Amino acid sequence: MTKKSFTLLLSSLLTFSMLTAACGNSNNGNEAAATKDPGTSGGNTTTAATKEPAPEPEKPTEIKIMLPLNTAETPPDTIKTELEKLTNTKLTYQFFPADTYEEKLNSSFATGSLPQVTYLKNQTTFVQMREAIKDGQFWEIGPLLSEFPNLNKLKPEILNNTKVDGKLYSLYIGRPLARQGIIYRKDWADKLGLQAPANLDELFAMAQAFTEKDPDGNGKKDTIGIVDRNELVYGAYKTVSAWFGTPNTWGEKDGQLAPDFTFPQYIDTMDFFKKLRDGGYMNKDFAATSKTDAVNMFVSGKAGLYIGGSMQDIDTLNKDLIKNFPDAVLDTHSMVAGPDGKFAQWMIPGYNNVVLFPKSAVKDEAELKLILGFFDKMMTPEVSNLMYWGIEGTHYTVEDGKAKPTDNKELIEREVKGYKDSVIGEAETNGMYLSYNVLPGRIHAEELILENVKVGVADPTAALDSATYTSKGVELQQIITDATYNYIYGQLDKAGFEKEVEAWKSRGGAAIIEEYNAVYKK
């Protein structure tokens, strides 16, 4: 009897694992994904679809919106109901998990079922969509913006970064241009009599002191300076490299655009990290360390400096750190002078994501204007606060003219987060509340983020197009990433690194340089 039921259990387990394996395997399972959608998007899709489009202007505009969801569950209608009242709309939100959003985007696109308002996932999906945009699949909105007073406030320099072939097709979700910097153990620095590093030598000295001078005072040499992870862009590397004066991804050299790794400052940065690693002043396995492991090392008191990412991370780092060390004090810092005494910070193009309006769903310009009208209202303080912070009194309170989120983080996560990531513009343009911070390090971080922009270095290729980059860029960049790590770990010397750069050029890099320069001149 027991044997029989065991076999049954076993066979059902096997069947189940086969099924899951099949789902995971099907790279070309677009059809399968597409058929699944109606279920995921819930019942409200059908109810909205069956209603006739509104003939009279007083009737609410019906808009279908597809966007990535960064939480586990679809939010309830609390925010949506308020939003509809404020904007006179009938909204249908289709949330899809951010992890698989690209697949969803591609399959909806392939089947022509994108809704009127389509959020992409990030810059990368935007670059991939460029070809389709050029192909005329989406509405151009540039000439219409001036008709909308609030949308017209969007920052022109960021709008410029989202243009395709010089035309504007999208609205952007704003992010601070340069959030990166150092989060460090101020209590350790104070104990050793150190100031926040003013230049790269002092940064190195601090990493060294944190490693060798027993900052936690337990009599053991069990701490390190910098903790980094397997990520050259959002880890410590790119931030430090900007301090050295390396251009942001691409820079001008003899009047021509050239990639950052062909600049001598890039080599200087590699030498800096090589010295750090050889001396044991950073985690030895950083090339294989995940973000989670890096964060764990920091909050468990093993490391004193966390560089890169966002200085706003100080809130979460602090929360976990003081659980282990109630006396620990964190602070942020970002102004580290390069060898020539100059400050520099690399900048992102100022947006996190964009919204597109597919021609397959938006019939004519009149409909497009109705939809843009909704976004125009979204850019008022009233609506953007509702979407970003939630309902006043329930999800946040106002203190000193700033929003202070409630302590019930789960409530915000469940009801507000889904909408938060879709707010167009940023506080400067849509007038929503800034966040009310209590942690001194975080307040300092917000000041530094504003300072960073003053010495910010932009990526000149952000709005440029290169066919070779679109098809092979990621693959080619891998060559350089690998070579950089190999150099830092002493497996490659300078000549070896340059050989890899030549390999990059011969396998398509030369074409990328040529294509970028051809459009750059224009």
Partner 1 sequence: MQDVTAQPGTVSKLKPKRYKSSSELKKRLWRNKYLYVMLIPGILFFVLFKYLPMYGLIISFQDYKPYQGITGSEWVGMEHFKRLFTEPDFIKILGNTLILFAMNILLYFPVPIILALMLNELRGTFFKRFFQTLVYLPHFMSWVIIVSITYVMVTMDGGIINELLSYFGFEQVNFLLNPGWFRPMYILQIIWREAGWGTIIYLASIAAIDPGLYEAARMDGAGRMRQIWHITLPAIRSVIITLLILKIGSVLDLGFEHVYLMLNSMNRNVAEIIDTYVYTAGLRQGQFSYSTAIGFFKSIIGLIMVMSVNKLSKKMGEEGVY
Task: Determine if 109 is a binding residue for partner 1 (CB under 8 A).
Answer: yes
Q: Identify the CA nearest to 74 among candidates 48, 104, 42.
A: 42
**What binding mask, one character per residue, do residues 121-150 give for partner 1 by CB under 8 A, x or -?**
-------x--xx--x-x-------------
CB closer to partner 1 out of 109 and 325: 109
Shortest spacing between CB 102 and partner 1, in angstroms:
8
Q: Does 482 bind partner 1 (CB under 8 A)?
A: yes
Beta bridge partners of 56: none
User: How do strand 171-174 and strand 351-356 relate by DSSP bridges?
Assistant: antiparallel
Candidates 99, 399, 475, 514; binder of partner 1 (CB under 8 A) is 475
Integer Cα distance of 16 and 297 in angstroms: 38
Given candidates 491, 502, 510, 514, which one binds partner 1 under the rule CB under 8 A?
491
The helix or strand, by DSSP H or E, that contains position 38, with its residue range, turns out to be helix 30-41
Identify which of residues 74 and 137 has a Cβ nearer to partner 1 in the complex.
137
Is 198 or 474 the residue whose CB approaches partner 1 more closely? 474
Q: What is the DSSP letter of 281?
A: S
Mask: binding to partner 1, 66-105, rule CB under 8 A, as x and -?
----------------------------------------
Q: Is 507 in the site for partner 1 (CB under 8 A)?
A: yes
Residue with tokens 């690998």: 482
Q: Using the rule CB under 8 A, which residue among 36, 163, 402, 472 binds partner 1? A: 472
Q: Binding string to partner 1 for residues 6 to 45, with x set by CB under 8 A, is what?
A: ----x-------xx--xx--xxxxxxx-------------
Which of 111, 435 has the CB closer to partner 1? 111
Told to check if 471 binds partner 1 by CB under 8 A, we report yes
Per CB under 8 A, the segment of 261-269, 325-333, 401-409, 465-473 that binds partner 1 is 465-473
Shortest gap between Cβ of 115 and partner 1 (angstroms)? 15
Among 38, 112, 142, 149, binds partner 1 (CB under 8 A): 112
Neighbours of 425 (CB within 10 A): 24
| Coil, helix or strand at residue 251 | strand
Q: Of 1, 500, 43, 91, which Cα lies nearest the Cα of 267?
A: 500
Phi, psi of 163 (to 5 degrees): -75, 150
Residue ranges in 276-315 that form contacts with partner 1 under rule CB under 8 A: 283-285, 287-290, 293, 297, 302
DSSP states along 346-394: E---SEEEEEE-BTTT--SHHHHHHHHHHHHHHTSHHHHHHHHH-SBTT
Q: How far is the CB of 506 from partner 1 (least distance, A)?
A: 9
Q: How far is it, in rounded angstroms, from Cα 80 to Cα 83? A: 5
Q: Which is nearer to partner 1, 47 or 124 (CB)?
A: 124
Tell whether residue 428 is a contact of partner 1 (CB under 8 A): no
Question: Which residues lie across from 66 on neighbouring strands?
Answer: 94, 118
- Please, what's the b/e burial string for 470-486 (b: 16 or more CB within 10 A of its CB; e: otherwise)? eebeeebbebbbebbbb
- Contacting partner 1 (CB under 8 A), which of 106, 123, 380, 437? 106
Least distance CB 92 / partner 1 (angstroms): 23
330 phi, psi to nearest 5 deg:
-110, 150
CB of 216 to partner 1, least distance (A): 14
Torsion sign across C-alpha atoms 65, 67, 70, 71: positive
Q: In the complex, what is the shortest distance from the CB of residue 367 to partner 1, in angstroms, rounded to a whole number?
A: 20
Examine residue 486 and tell whether it contacts partner 1 (CB under 8 A).
Answer: yes
Q: How far apart are CA 236 and CA 1, in angstroms?
A: 60
Tally DSSP H helices, then E strands, for the chain.
Answer: 22, 15
Alpha carbons 258 and 103: distance in angstroms, whole number = 33
Q: Does 484 bind partner 1 (CB under 8 A)?
A: yes
**Which residues contact partner 1 (rule: CB under 8 A)?**
10, 18-19, 22-23, 26-32, 106, 109-110, 112, 128, 131-132, 135, 137, 222, 224, 230, 283-285, 287-290, 293, 297, 302, 470-475, 478, 481-482, 484-486, 489, 491, 503, 507
